[in-house]
Amino acid sequence: MQLPTTVLFALLPFFLQVNAQATGTGKTTRYWDCCKPSCAWSGKATLAAGSGPVGTCDVKDSPLTDSNAVNGCDGGSSYMCSDQSPYAVTDDLAYGYAAVNIAGGSEASWCCACYELTFTTTAIAGKKMIVQATNTGGDLGANQFDLAIPGGGVGIFNGCTTEFGAPSSGWGAQYGGISAADSCSSFPAALKPGCDFRFGWFMGADNPEVTFKQVECPAALTKSTGCKRADDSSMPAADASGSAVASSASSTVAATSATSVASSVASSVVASSVASSVVASSVASSVAAPSVASSVVAVPSSSSSSAVKTASSSASSVVAPVATSYGHHTTAAKPSTIAPHSTATATASAPADDDDTCDAE
């Protein structure tokens, strides 16, 4: 069957959208360094009208309005807000935030994007968590989600001592954080619920592996950060039900279907005209050939003392062009929420190599 050129062009946006949705398998770690998230700096991604970078807070955990305020971990006044802590929605679904590194992408493609994670290992296998990417880190491997969990370890950077009076190396081990639920009782009131989450809904899981897919952000997540991507509404709605196997199977079927349609279109175009063939060929290859990235991920093996772990992360992710991104620290305007505390003076905007906070904990 030969499709008219007009039909082929009409299908082009569909193929590009399929290609833009990141999916794959990955690894999770944890951190909470109180520093300004990288996606809080202006210009990191194309945002929806009326939206701004990820919101930040001052040392009193009160919202800031200047997205160029210097990171508290660099002597500035901007810190991570406490309301960017994880929480349970149901027994099998939770919401939260994370520092992210998606294979083949950059901050331009993942800042403020949301990902539905389906845990495939540890006691929480089968549970799902939807996280919004608020940060990144130079020490993150491909397809790694460093979950923002109070008491998860400060890692490379520590703004919690200034903001909340935490020990010099943060609460618990520098990498991995605290190791017992009762340690949460001594946490600041604003961070205690997030700390308890780790030993409640999260069942103390240590760096579980996941399958992931980019989804439209739940309003509850974007309300806290004040950040929404311009392409967010084009993403599929999150699937709050189903097992890890079912979810993975659905992703595979969808990818196969898209590839088949692309191939069909390419064939039709070749039969139609040379010009159409070029367009369809381009479309087909972008949809049918997802990139597979393999990398070494620094991930501590236990929540107490290991500073580095090795994990091989391989994933099919189709995202924007590769670009170097930096750590987790950033500043941004926060609509109306409360969060961590920090002290500092502000100067200038985000340095080109701000290694904000993202440590494989």
33 carries an active-site annotation? yes
Active-site residue identified among 33, 58, 83, 196: 33
Gyration radius of the chain's alpha carbons: 21
Asked if residue 222 belongs to a domain, the reply is yes
State the alpha helices, DSSP H only, in the chain.
5-20, 107-110, 160-164, 192-199, 219-225, 244-272, 274-288
What phi, psi does 35 have (nearest 5°)?
-80, 160
Q: How many helices (H) and strands (E) does the chain have?
A: 7, 9
231 carries an active-site annotation? no
For β-strands 93-101 and 310-317, DSSP reports them as: unpaired
Which pLDDT does position 138 carry in this prediction? 84
Asked if residue 328 belongs to a domain, the reply is no
Which pLDDT does position 21 carry in this prediction? 77
Query: How far apart are alpha carbons 133 and 145 in whole angstroms?
Result: 9
Which pLDDT does position 4 carry in this prediction? 64
Domain count, the chain: 1
* Model confidence, pTM: 0.66
Which pLDDT does position 338 carry in this prediction? 33
Which pLDDT does position 288 carry in this prediction? 36
The answer to whether 294 and 274 have CB atoms below 8 angstroms apart is no
Asked if residue 345 belongs to a domain, the reply is no
Asked if residue 357 belongs to a domain, the reply is no
Which pLDDT does position 240 carry in this prediction? 63
Q: Which residues pair with 30 in a beta bridge?
A: 147
For the chain, which residues score pLDDT lower than 50? Answer: 11-19, 241-361
The answer to whether 234 and 17 have CB atoms below 8 angstroms apart is yes
The answer to whether 328 and 70 have CB atoms below 8 angstroms apart is no
Count of Cβ atoms closer than 10 Å to residue 308 Cβ: 14
Return the CATH number at 246: 2.40.40.10
Domain span including residue 143: 5-317
What are the structure tokens assigned to 187, written together? 């946490």
The answer to whether 136 and 355 have CB atoms below 8 angstroms apart is no
Which pLDDT does position 354 carry in this prediction? 43
The answer to whether 187 and 335 have CB atoms below 8 angstroms apart is no
Q: Give the three-class secondary structure for 203.
A: coil
Active-site residue identified among 61, 74, 146, 359: 146
Which pLDDT does position 317 carry in this prediction? 35
Asked if residue 327 belongs to a domain, the reply is no
Q: In this predicted model, what pLDDT tens digit does every residue of 62-84 receive, in sequence order?
A: 999 999 999 999 999 999 999 99
Count of Cβ atoms closer than 10 Å to residue 57 Cβ: 30
Asked if residue 63 belongs to a domain, the reply is yes
Which pLDDT does position 1 carry in this prediction? 53
Residues listed for the chain: 361
Asked if residue 285 belongs to a domain, the reply is yes
Asked if residue 82 belongs to a domain, the reply is yes
Which pLDDT does position 100 carry in this prediction? 98
Question: Amino acid letter at 293?
Answer: A
What are the structure tokens assigned to 140, written together? 């993150």
The answer to whether 148 and 96 have CB atoms below 8 angstroms apart is yes
